[in-house]
Structure formats: structure tokens, C-alpha cells
Amino acid sequence: MATQAQFRICPDTGLKVHLPAQALIKANAVAAVVFLAIGGLFGLSVALTRWPAVHLLPAEWFYLALTAHGADVLLFWIIFFEMAVLYFASAILLGSRLAAPKMGWLAFILMLVGAVTANIAVLQGESSVMFTSYVPMKAAPHFYLGLILFAVGALIGVFVFFGTLIVAKDERTYEGSIPLVTFGALTAAIIAVFTIACGAIILVPTFLWSIGIISHIDPLTYKVVWWGMGHSSQQINVSAHVAVWYAIAAIVLGAKPLSEKVSRTAFFFYILFLQLASAHHLLVEPGISSEWKIFNTSYAMYLAVLGSMIHGLTVPGSIEAAQRRKGYTNGIFEWLRKAPWGNPAFAGMFLSLVMFGFLGGITGVILGTEQLNMLMHNTLYVPGHFHGTVVAGTTLAFMAMTYLVVPLIFRRELVLPRLAQWQPYLFGIGAAGISLFMMGAGTLGVARRHWDITFTDARLSFDVPAGAFLMMGLNGICAILAALGGLAYVVVVVGSILFGKRKDAPAPAARPATPPMASPIASYGGEGTLKLPGTMVLVSVFFVAFVLYYYVNWKYLASVWPLR
Amino acid sequence: MAIHPPKQMIWWHEPVERSELVWIAVAFLWGLVMFGTMVAWHFVGKQNLSNEAYRITPDVFQARTEAAAEKYKVREEGNTGIPVVRPPPGGDAYMLARLWEWWPILELEKGQSYRLHISSLDWQHGFSLQPTNVNLQIHPGYEMVLTVTPDAAGQFTVVCNEFCGIGHHTMIGRIYVVDKK
């Protein structure tokens, strides 16, 4: 049993903070920000190379930078931050001690060593195989080894999270069910176990193949299993950032879920139907039947999509309800107009919500439709889509969360508050533009992961449509905006951690057991207690956009060469 | 709040607000519609990717492609030395992918159907037909066979859109579609 000396009571929230958990959250968050900065720089150099008028890097460097960009931001930034979210959602929100902090540190060190090893492998130049590292293209053995170490570390961290839930329940640090945010984090953690298992099943043999112990790896089998990791990990991100949306709405506005039942069921759908995502990557592969493709991308009901669409209503709905309780009841949108748009945590969260839905969500379903996938597979449409999900969605949500973590966990006030205020808009608009313009270029046929759309060195010539050049230029400009937003984030966060005004020194917890609960906004949201007209308008607009865009793509499909 | 345990211990019995129920029903039905659309397209649509594929070794596929190229070669493309191959309408057309070319160039008749065989001799490649924007994944060891019916005459380009090493951006091929003579 932990001694009380290991805790402090947060004067702002009344949360009971376990100091070893706090230290681990700090370490993981800092590592996350470092990899975001590195990966973001690589990303900027990639976008500037793909801007034909700039064409920054030579080909070799471009493919190297693109590989590093994928690994550093999609894996290392996001998963380090998710570790911080898991420890926060378990130990801090439940007011419990963290189970096995030493294992938490082991996890952290393994992840760090793995991430650094993979980066070294990529920078040495022998591992420019892209994030997906499709066989039979081969990377240096320590590239795979780095990824494996990172995954093992992450798995240990996930089990520390599970252990903490058990400890908290055993020691009765809370009553009733775990909070919704913890439930969302639990969803992410369960999916993470599946994801990492898939990763181990494919990366371990691939590592053995790279050092010559295994002679052959079937490329199709590799892809099937690899995507069990590759896209399921995006389901971790979705679960984690939806949990973060709920957390920010609760901390900033005192919002309470409209219905615990609905929101939790929506999270549960992610666990049951996460396989859907993996099949999306195999829609134009040889040797896979249409029945398999259709069933696995939809399970006949699209229930994982349903889960996200539910959160799409309940998150803004809970915000609207909270705001209306506070008296912003005029018209349909006063609650939204008078929301705290100057608070970077809220602004980032709400932009993330809207852009994840409109840019990432809709296009993800289109890409995951058996026949429509043929129109976009491996074009720039694909990165356009996932920059809508993991950059405008996950990354922006995590950035927003950081603005709460710095005062709550690091106990520092934000430096440069004006810059922090603008940061979510700068980054959000940049990310939205990257997503949109890449999708535009992809619709015009521009290939992803491609150094030269003018085909100067090719034996045959090909002129891409002029519009594609415009799209790539706009993409480059938006990448600069996003990079400035990313820079602002790093400056504010690092500046605050190092030089921010200390908030009052943590007093050792004198009071035992359960901390005082900050009183939530009075009960609402039950049947018939409150109408949410603004949210209904928002989701209706979303739905109309979804349906229209879906059928526009079918119309486009009908115009290409008949094939069967 | 979402960061605290639910106020009501038995939250499962809380009634759900009507607007939430309506939205859940709409979203669920939309999921069914989207599922139904994919299935229906197999019956009413003309663009459904073939399920036909075979395991094949790169050597065998290369031999077949070269034999077909020799038999149906009509000319060479400029001074590139790449053969332009005009398979018989309704017949088999072969195209292989390797570092870093699509080989050979095909010449097809508009409105005719061809059984197009594609495979890779080395790494994975992406068959991206431009400007129509049809995109297929090509694996080594698997021969994909699809029946295509070009419906417009002109010059089409095959871009590789799966990263395949340092020459990836130079890997393009060509398909001519000509009116019936």
C-alpha cells in the first residue's frame, strides 16, 4: 500500500495525484513532444519536396525523411503521449497509486531505446522502406528491432495501466464505475493489446528474415497481419482522442456525458469492430474475395463507424448541455459562440472534433468501401485522409490536452499565453489544408510517396493535370502553417515546463483516501430534460455532407473503365 | 463529469434522450445502406474488381509476358526499345512490373474486352492507370487477372504508386487505346 507521502492533492481540481505516476506522465509527455518536433520537421521537408516549385530534398533524402516522418509522428509521438494519457486516466482520475511504477519506467526506457534505434536505422540510409515496410523490400535488422522494442515497451505500459485499474478497485479509491474518460482509455488499452500482438506476429519473423534466419515472407500475408497492427493502432488513437475530448469538455466546461450508457456502448463498439479498419487496406490486392472485403470492411453494419458517429453527437451535445446550464440559451448557437474559444485546450479540442469528423471520418468510410477504394488506393488521397484523422484529429486533441497537463501535472503556468491561444488555429488550419489538398491531388491521380510528379528522369513522359501542381503548392503552404503551429506548440510547452511560473508548491496530502469530488454541473441530459438544437443542426450538416460525398464518389466510379 | 465515476451507480438504467436515439437510428440505418450499396454494385455496377488471381513464380510470369510480347508486337515505342504489343481483342494481355518499369506497352481497342494479367517480378508495385485513376496493388508471386473494357480512346499512363525504392518515381508505363480500324 502506498503511503500518503506519495500523494498530493491538486488544488485546482481536487484530484489526488500519485507522485510516481506524475513523474511517468511527465517523462512520456516530454518524449512525445520531442518526437513530434523531430517528426514534424521531417514532415515539413517532405511537403516542401512535394511542392514542385520548391522540390527541397534529393530523392534519396526524400524517401528517408518520409520513412522517418511516419515512424516519429505516427508511432512515437502518438504512443508516448498515449502512455501519458493511460497513466493519467488510471492513477490520477481514479485517485489511486500507479501499479508497479518501476515497470512503467522499464516500459518507458524500452520505448525510448526502440524509438532511438529505429531513428538511427532510418538515418543511416539503409532503411528507407516507409512506415509500412512492405516485404520483400528489406530494411536493416535494427529498424525492425527498434520497432519491436518500442512495441514491447508499450505493451508493458498498457499492463501497468490494467494493473492500476485493479489496484484502484481493490483499494476502493472510487465508488461505482470508472469514469467515462478512463473507460475510453481502457478501450484504447484493450485495442492496444490486440494491435501489439499483430505487430509481434509479423515484425518478429520479418526481423528474423532480415538477418537471414527465415528465407521468405509472403508479401500478402505480411500485409494482412501488418495492417492488424497498422490500422488497429489508429483505432487506439481514436479511442484515446475521443477520451481526451470528453476529458477536456469535463475539465474546461464541467460537461457531463449526456448518457453514460450511450457513450460507453459507443466505445465498446470500437473494441468489437476494430478489425474493420484493417481490411480497408486490402481492397485492391490480388487473391482476396469480394465477400471477405465487403464483410470485413463493414461487418454488414458499419458498427465501428456508428460508434464514432455517436461520439460525434454526444461530445458536442454534452458541451451544448453544459453551456445551456450556464445560461447560454439564446437561439441555436449562443452556447457555441460563447464557448471559451480563447482557451487553447477548448479550441483545440473542438477543432479536432469537427475536422476529425468532416475530413478524416467521412473520407475514411469512402476509402474503406470495396469498389470506391480502387479510385484512391495509394494516391495522395490516402495520406490526405489520415492527416485528417491523426493530425487534425488525434494530434490536435493531444496538443489541446497538453495545455491542461502543463498546469495540472507539471504545476507550471503557460508562458506566452497569446501564442498558446493562437496555436490550435494555426495548427488546425494548416492540418486541415494538408488534408484537403492532398485529397484533392489524390483525386487527380497524384501518387503518394512519390518524389517527382513531373517524371523528369523517366523513360516515358507523363503530364499530370495542372490542377495537381496547384494542389501540391497549396499543400506545401499549409504544411508551413502547420509547422509554425507545431513550433508554437513546442515553444509554449517546453517554455512553460522550463520557465513557466510555478504554481503553488505541492503540499503532501494530509487527508486520507477519497479526495473531495469537484461537483459536476447539476444532473441533466436524461430523457426530456434538455433539448440540444445546436448539436442536432451540426450532426445534420455532417450527415448530409457524408451522404452527398459518398454518392458523388460512386458517380465518379461509374465513369471509369468497366472492369471485372 | 466525464472524469468522475457516474453519479448514478446503475447508469445502465438511465433513460436515453430522444435526440440521441434518433441519431443512433439514423447512423445505424445509414450503415446498412452503405453495406447494401457495396453489394448492389456487384449486380448493377460495371466497376467491380476481379477476384481472379493465381500464385505464380516471377520466372514463369516473365516467360509468359515475353512470349506474348514477341507474338503480338506491332512496333517499338520511339527510340526507347520498349515493344508496343497489340493483343487480340477478347484475348489475354500481359503486363509485368519490375524495378523500375511496366513492361511492355499495350495497345488495346476501344470497346473491346481483354483479360489483363499483371504481376510483379520483384517488389510490390502500384498499378495506377492515369488519367482514369484506377489503382491496383501488384504483388510478386501473385498474378492478378482482370477483364478490362477501355471505353475511351487515347494515351493512358501507368504510374507506380507503391513505393519501390530509389527509382520509384521513374517507373511509368503506357497503354494506348485506339479506335477499331
pLDDT digits (tens, 9 = 90+) for A295-329: 988 888 899 999 999 999 999 999 999 999 889 99
Number of domains into which chain B is organized: 2
Question: Residue B161 maps to which CATH number?
Answer: 2.60.40.420
d(CA A99, CA A26): 17
User: Which residues are registered as beta bridge partners of B140?
Assistant: B120
Residue B165: its pLDDT value, please? 95
To the nearest whole Å, the CA of B67 is away from the closest chain A CA by: 23
CB pairs below 8 Å between A and B: how many?
319
Residue A125, sorted as left (phi over 0), alpha (psi -120 to 50) or beta, turns out to be left
d(CA A388, CA A386): 5
For residues B141 and B99, membership in a common domain is answered with: yes
Residues in B closer than 8 angstroms to A529, CB to CB, are 17
Residue A520: its pLDDT value, please? 45
- Label residue A479 exposed, middle or buried (CB < 10 Å: 0-12, 13-18, 19+): buried
For residues B132 and B161, membership in a common domain is answered with: yes
Q: Is the pLDDT of residue A516 over 50?
A: no
- Among A176, A250, A527, select the one facing B9 at the smallest CB separation: A176
Residue B169 counted as domain residue: yes
Q: How many of the other CB atoms lie within 10 Å of CB of B76?
A: 13
For residues B40 and B55, membership in a common domain is answered with: no
Q: Nearest CA to A13 among A134, A237, A181?
A: A181
For residues B139 and B75, membership in a common domain is answered with: yes
pLDDT 10s digits, A430-467? 999 999 999 999 999 999 999 999 999 999 999 999 99
Residue B168 counted as domain residue: yes
Helix (H, G, I), strand (E, B) or coil at B98: strand
The residue with greater pLDDT, B2 or A417, is A417
Residue B114 counted as domain residue: yes
Q: Nearest CA to A302 among A283, A280, A282, A281?
A: A280
Q: Is the pLDDT of residue A562 over 50?
A: yes
Name the residue of chain B whose CA is nearest to A128's CA: B165
For residues B38 and B56, membership in a common domain is answered with: no
**Nearest 10 degrees: Cα torsion B88, B94, B100, B101:** 0
pLDDT 10s digits, A8-54? 988 888 889 999 999 999 999 999 999 999 999 999 999 999 999 99
Q: Nearest CA to B25 among A306, A119, A505?
A: A306
The reply to whether residue B31 touches residue A543, judged by beta carbons under 8 angstroms, is no
Note if the bond before B100 is cis, omega within 30 degrees: yes
Phi, psi angle pair for A68, to nearest 5°:
-65, -40
For residues B94 and B137, membership in a common domain is answered with: yes
Residue B107 counted as domain residue: yes
Residue B3 counted as domain residue: no
Residue A99: its pLDDT value, please? 95
DSSP structure string for A175-227: -SSPPHHHHHHHHHHHHHHHHHHHHHHHHHHHHHHHTTSS----HHHHHHHHH
Residue A48: its pLDDT value, please? 97
Residue A527: its pLDDT value, please? 38
Note if the bond before B83 is cis, omega within 30 degrees: no
Residue B111 counted as domain residue: yes
Positive or negative torsion for Cα A541, A545, A551, A555: positive
The reply to whether residue B159 touches residue A462, judged by beta carbons under 8 angstroms, is yes
The reply to whether residue A529 touches residue B32, judged by beta carbons under 8 angstroms, is no
Give A525's pLDDT tier (boundaries 50, 70, 90): very low
Q: Nearest CA to A164 among A339, A25, A294?
A: A25
To the nearest whole Å, the CA of A238 is away from the closest chain B CA by: 17
For residues B66 and B125, membership in a common domain is answered with: yes
Contacting B residues, span 72-101, partner chain A, CB-CB under 8 Å: 77, 80, 82, 101
To the nearest whole Å, the CA of A151 is away from the closest chain B CA by: 25
Domain with B77 in it:
51-178
- CA A14, distance to chain mean position in Å, is 28
**Nearest 10 degrees: Cα torsion A43, A46, A48, A51:** -130
Helix (H, G, I), strand (E, B) or coil at A410: coil
- Label residue A429 exposed, middle or buried (CB < 10 Å: 0-12, 13-18, 19+): middle
The reply to whether residue B135 touches residue A378, judged by beta carbons under 8 angstroms, is yes
Average pLDDT of the residues of chain A: 92
Residue A536: its pLDDT value, please? 94
d(CA A455, CA A452): 6
What are the cell numbers at A118? 529505429
d(CA A262, CA A311): 9
- Among B24, B124, B173, select the one facing A134 at the smallest CB separation: B124
Residue B66 counted as domain residue: yes
Name the residue of chain A whose CA is nearest to B25's CA: A306
- Containing H/E element for B159? strand B154-160
Assess B44–A contact: CB distance below 8 Å, yes or no.
Answer: no
The reply to whether residue A259 touches residue B16, judged by beta carbons under 8 angstroms, is yes
Give A526's pLDDT tier (boundaries 50, 70, 90): very low
To the nearest whole Å, the CA of B117 is away from the closest chain A CA by: 11
Residue A530: its pLDDT value, please? 66
For residues B147 and B166, membership in a common domain is answered with: yes
Task: For chain A, report the end-to-end CA distance as a whole number of angstroms.
Answer: 66
For residues B34 and B62, membership in a common domain is answered with: no
Helix (H, G, I), strand (E, B) or coil at B125: strand
Residue A522: its pLDDT value, please? 43
Residue B6 counted as domain residue: no
For residues B112 and B164, membership in a common domain is answered with: yes
Residue B11: its pLDDT value, please? 85
Looking up cell 503552404 gives: A477
Name the residue of chain A whose CA is nearest to B39's CA: A294
Give the type of residue at A44.
Answer: L
- Containing H/E element for B102? strand B101-103
To the nearest whole Å, the CA of A418 is away from the closest chain B CA by: 28
For residues B26 and B58, membership in a common domain is answered with: no
For residues B25 and B101, membership in a common domain is answered with: no
What are the cell numbers at A35? 518526437
Would you give per-residue pLDDT tens digits along chain B (181 residues)? 788 998 877 888 888 888 899 999 999 999 999 999 999 999 999 999 999 999 999 999 999 999 999 999 999 998 899 999 999 999 999 999 999 999 999 999 999 999 999 999 999 999 999 999 999 999 999 999 999 999 999 999 999 999 999 999 999 999 999 998 7
The reply to whether residue A374 touches residue B49, judged by beta carbons under 8 angstroms, is yes
